[in-house]
Every structure is written in C-alpha cells, then in structure tokens.
Amino acid sequence: MRASLRRTAAAAATALALLLTGCAGTDDGGGDTGRIELSFQSLAWQKESVDANKQLVKEWNEAHPDIQVNYIPGSWDTVHDQLLTAFEGDEAPDIIHDASDDLADFAYGGYLADLRTLLPDRLTADIPRQSWSTTTFGDGVYGVPFLQEPRVLIANTRILAASGVRIPTPEHPWSWSEFRQVTRELTGKGRYGVAWPLKEPVSVTLNLGLSAGGKLFHRAADGKVTLRAGEGDRIVPDTIHDQVNTDHSAARTALGMGGSDTLPGFFGGKYAMVPLGFSYRQQVVEQAPEGFEWTVLPAPAGSAGLAQGVSPQTLSVSEASPHKKEAVQFIDFLLRPPNMVRLAKGDWMLPTGTAALADPSLHTAENGWATGVAVAKALRPAPAQSVRGYPEWKDKVATPALQEYYSGAIGGDELRKRLVDDGNRVLARYQR
C-alpha cells in the first residue's frame, strides 16, 4: 500500500541512516569482529507497524548475536528514486521493503537478487502462487510478497439502515450497476452516496477493473506488452464518471483528495460510503467521533466476481549484498506465521501466507477483519504488475487522462485513445 499519511521527512532519515550504517556493496558488513551486519530498510510508518517491525528486529538480534540487523526507516513517498540512487551508488540496503509494482525495473536492471535458490520450502509453500507471481519477473523471483490490501467500501451504518438498500456481503456483493443505483438512493440533501478519493486514480481503476473483466495490458507470446481496451475495461471508469457527472451521486470535490481527506466528510454525514484501502480502518477507529457507526462492505463485483488487483508489500535482497543467505534467513524469521500476523495487524492489512491468514484473530467481525479475509481469496496480481515502463505510463499518461475523464473534461473515446495510443508509445520504448 502506498499509504496516504506518508512522511517525507523519512527520506532524510533514510539517507542519513544509510550513510551512518553502511550498506551492501561497501564492505562485508562485519568489519573485523566476524559478526555479520545486515541493513533492513523498512517503509513501516504507522506507529503499530513501526513498533511491530522494530520488536521483531530486536527479537532476531537477541537470538542471533552473530547476525545483527540494523533497522533503517524509509518513506513510501520517495522509495523508488531513493533506491535507484542507492543502487547506482552501490549503497543499497541488504534487505529492502517495497511494493511489488515498484520492483520490475529494479529486477530487470539487475539490482535485486533472484531468490529462487535461497528461499526455504516452508515460505514458498505457504504463500499462494498468485502472490508469488507479483514478484516474478522473467524466470526469477525478486521479492517475497507478505502483506496485501484489498479495496473495500467503508460505509455509514445508520445511513444504510435508514435507506433500506440491500446490504452486500462477500457471498452476495453488489454488482457495479446495482452499486450505481444504490449510490443514487443514498444521495440526499447535503449528502452524496459515495466519495471517490482519486488523487491517484490509476491503481484504483485498474485493480477494481479486474472484477469486471478488465485487463488493458496484454502480453504476447514473445513477452511484449501492448495496451488494448475491451468492454470490461470501461465498466469501472464509466461507473465512476457517471456517478460524478450524470447522477451527481459522487462528490466532485473528492476527486482530487487522498483517502484520508475524505474521512472528515464521511464522519460528518456528507458521504454515505467511501471506497478505501483496507488499512484505512485504523484511521476510522482512531478518528471517528464517539457513537459513529460504520461497517466494511466488499467492493462491487462484475463478470469476474470479487476479483481485484493488488500490489503486495514485499521484501527483497540487494544483488550487491555479500550476505544474501543470511538476509533471506532474516526474511524467513520475519514472515513466520505468527510474525506475519503481527505485521498484518500492525499495518491493518492482510497477510499473504495461508497459515497467517487462517489465524482466528483475523476472522473477527470487529472492524471488518472477516470481510477482508473473505475477499482475500479473490485477490489477483495488479494488471500492470510486471510491465516495464508502467511507472512512466501511469504518471505521464494515465493519471492526467483519468483525472480529466472523471471530472468530465474529456469523453470516453478520448480517454481510451490516450490510455492506449499514447500508452503504447511509452511501452514501446521499454521493449525495443
């Protein structure tokens, strides 16, 4: 998850910590003591998550005096550019926390270690194949996917009850057309049925589009990827566009917001529902006024059911690290089922491991945990997971095009022309 409340100050802390600690490629990590020292750059930012990560590092260090791990804070805001600079300067941390949709260029560029011969059987068997595919590029595996976050509907319980609309469940979710109708019914004086926080619209659109059979990115037998818009690729963007511009059931002002920005309006009854990442439940718990009643509902379903794209959080090892084996040993410790549960709870996300996902503490109805677990089996790799050039396409083509479409500035034909035609020109440069 690219968390919305990120702290850019962490970038400076990262650079300083890397300078003081020393990272892979500078020496053997052990000096003259014979002790191996590993650097672990973590992007944890919420207090519970930071505490869980630091406590696990402490437990490892106490149990492994000859292999010590140094915890380094990083920032989701700057991680891609920071890592690129570190790789090129031969100063990358040994163990790298990132997200799977950020790994492709690093993997193809030779900066990350292929983990296939290093991973223990326990770990490879515990994490499902579809999760491993998010970190597989070519023939190699360049990260361990360990936390994942579906997008859900966080809804005002009292407004739903008063409206009389059907309440969806993971077994019987709303269809996209029913969802559009429901948001019309929930709209009233001073209230919108839904607020779509689409400051970063691309991943939301692509990932939810899988439920409607959308794909957009198509890989040929020779491995080359081209963009092609089918009928399934229209359903999610057209639904959002029509809610904003035709039905007026979605707040136009929310389009430029991040997820956290919508919460005051949600708490104040301005929005009946907000589609948010699963981890936002923590902010709702911490910030909702006393007596506020809310619930977690599954995202709408289409021809592919509840299928939804995700880009799991990952742990990778620098190719330049002189201690790859020991780095993977630490990763294996960090992702033992009880520890993976601790990390998931700290981030209010879902573990990828089947053993951790089966933990009874994650199957409680409280705060919507059970709804998230029920959706987990439908999670799939994000559509552009392994596409080289995706970051440029997202930033330079898709983000402005979708923002203009959702605001009503351009029509559907122009949107698809820009996503596909302009997008294919971008991808072609990376696939020559």
Model pLDDT for residues 39-90, shown as the tens digit of each residue: 999 999 989 999 999 999 999 999 999 999 999 999 998 999 999 999 999 9
End-to-end CA distance of the chain: 31
Helices (H), 320-368: 324-334, 337-347, 354-357
Q: Are 91 and 25 in contact (CB under 8 A)?
A: yes
Mean pLDDT of the chain: 92
In this structure, is the dihedral angle defined by the CA atoms of residues 247, 249, 252 and 255, taken in order, positive or negative?
negative
Q: Angle CA(191)–CA(211)–CA(128) in degrees, nearest 5?
A: 125
Q: List the one residue out of 197, 195, 294 whose CA is nearest residue 249.
A: 195
CA–CA distance, 393 with 339 (Å, rounded to integer): 36
pTM score, two decimals? 0.88
Q: Are 147 and 334 in contact (CB under 8 A)?
A: no
Q: Are 92 and 25 in contact (CB under 8 A)?
A: yes
pLDDT confidence bin for 31, thresholds 50/70/90? low
Q: Are 210 and 267 in contact (CB under 8 A)?
A: no
* Neighbouring C-beta atoms of residue 46, cutoff 10 Å: 17
CA–CA distance, 154 with 265 (Å, rounded to integer): 13
* Neighbouring C-beta atoms of residue 287, cutoff 10 Å: 13
Q: List the one residue out of 16, 53, 1 whose CA is nearest residue 330.
A: 53
pLDDT tens-digit map of 383-421: 887 788 888 999 999 999 999 999 999 999 999 999 999
